[in-house]
Amino acid sequence: MVGRRFQVLHNDSNFDLEYDTDDGFEVFQFQLYSLTSVPPDQQKIYGAEPDTQISTDSDLATISDKLRLVSIDDEPPKPELDSAQFLQSDEELARLLQAEEEALMLQQYVASENTQEFESRVRPYVSQVLMYEDEIRQEAARKSVPVEELEEKALVSLAKEGNFNPSKIERDHAFLLQLLFWFKQSFRWVNAPSCRDCGNETIDQGMTAPLPSETLYGASRVEQYRCTVCSRLTRFPRYKDPKKLVETREGRCGEWANCFTLYCRAFGYESRLILDFTDHVWTECYSQFLGRWMHLDPCEAIYDRPLLYEKGWNKKLNYVIALAKDGVYDVTKRYTRKWHEVLSRRTMVTEPSLSSILTNITNETRRGFAPQLLSIIEARDIEENQQIERSLHSEDDESLSLPGRRSGNEQWRKSRAEIGSDNLSSSACPVRLCVDEHVTKIYNAFCPVLHQFIAEEVTKAEAVEVLGITKRILLDLSSSPFKSRRASIDSVLSNPKFQKLLPSFDDLLDALSLEKKVNTDGRVEICSVGNPVVTSLALPVVLDAIDDMVHNLNKCENYGKNMFTLPLLKLNRLHSGSVVASAEELPLGIATSAFDGTQISKWEEPNGAKGCWIVYRTFDDKKYELVAYELMSANDAPERDPMDWILEGSNDEGNSWQVLDKQTSQFFKDRFQRRTYMINSAHSPSNIFSYAFADSGFLQSKIFSLLPDCKLGALISMPEHYEI
C-alpha cells in the first residue's frame, strides 16, 4: 500500500486528495469525478511539467503530486493548444473538402450519363409507397396492433424519466418507439422457411414461377426450398403488398421495412421508405419531438442512429434514397461521415443528373397538391437539406459503439462482412435521475403486513397463502385496461384470514395508486385512483417484491416476532438520487435500470472486462449511514456476474473516502438471486456512494439495496437500499 496526497487544480479551485495508489488509476479517476463532477471518460489530467498528460497506465506512486484536471468539454488548458487544435480541425476539414472536389471531378469521367439504370431501381418504389396511403391497408395494420399495451409502455417509458404528464408530441414520439420494439418482436426473419408440411429445415432450390394468388399481392419473385426430411417443396413468395405482409408477418429486410412503414403511416406518422443501393431497406419518420426526420430500422429495433450502417456494419454506401407520397429524396449524406469516399462510389449517374431525376419524379408525385401544402413541404425540404449539410462534417461521437448487423443468420452476415460487434453502448454515460420512490414505498409497505401477520397469529403457511392471494389480485389488475384498472376481490373475502388482514395492505395499495371500493351493489373491488401510469410503473415492482417476500418467508427459520430483519424486510430504501456509470448499454441496459425495482431490467456495462464503476448520489445530498446493501444477478450469462468489488462512501464531495465494504470471489448460483451484504465497519453518514467492480467481462447486475440507518418506531434499525 502506498498512500499519497495529491493537490488537484480544476477551474481555479484546488482539491486535496489522499489516495491509496494500489487501488489503481480507474478508481483514482472516479474519485476525481466525485471531487469535480468531471466523469472519468471526460478527464484530461496533466502533471507539473508543461503539456505532460498523465495516461491511464501511469504509475501513481511516482507521478507529480501537483496535478491539473481539465474536462474535454471545457476550453483546453493553454491558448497555444487551443489554436493548434483549431488549426488541425481546419486542416482536416480542408482535406475533406479537397477530397470531395476531386471525387466530383473524377465522377465526371467514370459516371454514366444513361439514367435508365438508376431510374429502374427507384421508380418501382414510387408506386409502392402510395399503398401506405390506402385506408383499407392502414385499418388492417391498426387492427393487428395491441394499441393500449403500446400506449401504456410509452407512458411508462416517459415516467421512468420523471415525465408523468407528457405532451401529445412526447406521447407520439414514445409510442412510435414502442411500435418499433413491438414490430421487432412480432415479425419473423426468414433465412429459409420451415417446411410447410413437417416444419423441418429446408434447402434453397432456386426461383420458381409465381402463382396468380401470389402475383395478386406483388410477388413477382418466388423462392423455392426443399425439406431436408420429407423432401417436399416449400414456396416463399416475396410479397410487396404490405397488407399481405400484415398477415404473413415474415420476410427479410425488404418485407420488414415495407410492412413497418405501413404501420407508421397507419398511426399518422409522416413516413418514408429508405432504399439503400448496397442492399438494405429501412424507414424514416418525421419526429415532431425532435423537429427532424428520424432513422428507424425495424430489423434491428434501432432508432436515430443513422451511422449504424457505415460505422457499425462497415457498409460502403453509395446511394441512400428516401421515397414518400410527396417526393423522392437523396438522403445519403445523413448516413455517412465519409462523403468523399461515398462520392467515389457514386458512378451510376453524375450528381447533376441524379438531382434532375429526383426533381422530376418529385414534381410528378406533387401534381395536384394545393399551393399551401406545397409551400409547407418545400420549406421542410430546405430545412432538411440544411440539417444534413450541417451534420455531414460534424464530429463523430467516439463514445458511442454501434453494433454490427444482428438480423439474419450468422453465416449470411459474415458473408456480407456486416457482423461487427453485438452491442449498442456508450462509454459517456450521462448523469441520470432515478425515478424510483415508488419502489421504496412498496418495500416499506410490507412492514405493517408482517406485523399484522404476527398480531393475528398467522402461521407461515397462511402468510404465504395470503401473499399468494394478493399476487393473484395484482395479476388480475395487470391484465385489465391500464386506464381503468379494477379487479373484484369478493371471492377472496370469503377467506376469513385475508378479510381480517386486508386493512394492513392499505399502505401497499397507496404505493400502487390503488384503493378498495365498495360498489352500489355491494361488490368490493380494487381499482386505480390518480394517475394510472403510477400503477403501471409500480405493478411489476410489487409482483417481484411479493415473490421475494414469499421466498424469504419460506426460508425464515425464526418466523415470529424476531423475523423483522434483512433480507425479509428492506425498509427505508434510498431513492430519487442520481447515478452515473463507467458505461452502459442503450437503450435498455442504462445505469438507472439497476435501481428500478424490477427483475426484467439490468444495468449492463459492456467494458466490464476493463473494470467498471457506478456512482450514486443521494437526493438533495442528504447523508445516510448505510448498514447493508444487496446485489441481484441478472437474467442470463452467469459469466457476467460481478465477483469482486469495493463500496465506498463520501460526505465531503469526494475529498475523502471511506471503505464501507469490500468483497472478493462472490458467486451467484441462480438467476435473479439477491444477496445481502451487511456493512460492519464503523463509518460516518455519506451522500455519495461508489461501487468499483474488478475485471468481470461484460457486467450485468442490479445493486438492489442500500439501506441507511434509521429507526422505525421502537422496532429495529434497518438499512435503506438502492438498486443498480
The answer to whether 681 and 661 have CB atoms below 8 angstroms apart is: yes
**In the block, residue with C-alpha cell 432504399:** 275
Three-state secondary-structure class, residue 412 = helix
Closest CA to 277 of 245, 236, 323, 311: 323
Give the integer Cα–Cα distance in Å for 700 and 541. Answer: 19
Contacts of 123 (CB under 8 A, 6+ apart): 361
Three-state secondary-structure class, residue 609 = helix
Q: Catalogue the active-site residues.
A: 253, 280, 297
DSSP 308: I
C-alpha cell recorded at residue 295: 432513422
Rg of the chain's alpha carbons, rounded to an integer?
30
What are the C-alpha distances in Å from 637 to residues 604, 641, 666, 696?
A: 11, 8, 15, 12
Contacts of 238 (CB under 8 A, 6+ apart): 219, 220, 221, 222, 223, 251, 254, 255
Task: Give the full edge-to-edge strand order of the sheet including 327-330.
Answer: 302-303, 292-297, 280-287, 271-276, 320-324, 327-330
C-alpha cell recorded at residue 497: 384470514
The answer to whether 126 and 323 have CB atoms below 8 angstroms apart is: yes
Give the integer Cα–Cα distance in Å for 720 and 627. Answer: 8
Give the integer Cα–Cα distance in Å for 610 and 697. Answer: 8
Give the integer Cα–Cα distance in Å for 260 and 273. Answer: 9
Q: What is the largest CA-CA distance in the chain?
A: 92
Give the integer Cα–Cα distance in Å for 330 and 193. Answer: 34
DSSP secondary structure letters along 22-50: GG-HHHHHHHHHHHH---GGGEEEE-SST
Exposure on the CB side of residue 248, measured as CA atoms within 13 A: 23
637: left (phi over 0), alpha (psi -120 to 50) or beta: left
DSSP 619: G
Cite the beta strand spans of 449-492 per DSSP E: 486-488
CB atoms < 10 A from the CB of 65, how many? 12
